[in-house]
Amino acid sequence: MPREVRRLEATDVERIEAEEPAGQGFVRAMWKLQQRDESVLIVAWVDGMPVGSAQLDLRTDPWEVKNLNVDERARGEGIGTALMAEAERLAAPSGRLSVGVGVDNPRARALYERLGFRPTGQESATTYEYVDERGVRRTATETDVLLMKDLAAAPSA
């Protein structure tokens, strides 16, 4: 399957929006931030379909990966790994990259640790709003553990 992982472009926004739950507004919000050089959305495509993405937040020091998500049907095929590899490539000149992971998300944490991210001992509680699959707006609070990788070390992928 032809696979591509690259930063969001203006012409992608409507295409991705068509796949989002109505009213979610995620890709538009990401595009606004990207236009202000505040973050970059990295998008994975398979056969011309968007199947996953990761936000590289440029407002933090070090830069932080947020909102990593791969469509349920496309998981376990290395797409999450490929999105992280692209985030690392973009962040390489700054030397370090961080990612927050929910304490109740062992799968994602295992992925980050396999890639060489290590706990910093820093924890934070994040409250966020999202629109579920049925279009219902919800609020959730999660405790995140901050992981960090020194990109001067050998690349992971």
Ligand X SMILES: CC(C)(COP(=O)(O)OP(=O)(O)OC[C@H]1O[C@@H](n2cnc3c(N)ncnc32)[C@H](O)[C@@H]1OP(=O)(O)O)[C@@H](O)C(=O)NCCC(=O)NCCS
Which residues of this chain interact with ligand X, rule CB under 6 A? Answer: 68-70, 75-81, 101, 105, 107-108, 110-111, 114
Residue with Cβ nearer ligand X (75 or 89): 75
Q: Is the C-alpha dihedral spanning 143, 150, 37, 49 positive or negative?
A: negative
CB of 72 to ligand X, least distance (A): 8
Cβ count within 10 A of residue 2: 7
Q: Which segments within the chain are labelled E, that is strand?
A: 3-7, 39-46, 49-57, 64-70, 96-102, 118-131, 137-150
| Shortest spacing between CB 53 and ligand X, in angstroms | 10
Q: Is the dihedral of CA 115, 58, 132, 105 positive or negative?
A: positive
Q: How far is the CB of 27 from ligand X (least distance, A)?
A: 16
| Pick 35 or 139: Cβ nearer ligand X | 139
Q: Which is nearer to ligand X, 36 or 107 (CB)?
A: 107
**Nearest alpha-carbon partner for 112 in 122, 98, 126:** 98
What's the closest the beta carbon of residue 70 comes to ligand X, in angstroms?
Answer: 4
Phi-psi region of 10 (alpha: psi -120 to 50; beta: other; left: phi over 0): alpha
When CB distances to ligand X are compared, the closest residue is 80
Q: Which is nearer to ligand X, 48 or 76 (CB)?
A: 76
Smallest distance, Å, CB 10 to ligand X? 25
Question: Would you say 2 or 76 has its CB closer to ligand X?
Answer: 76
Pairing of β 96-102 and β 64-70: parallel
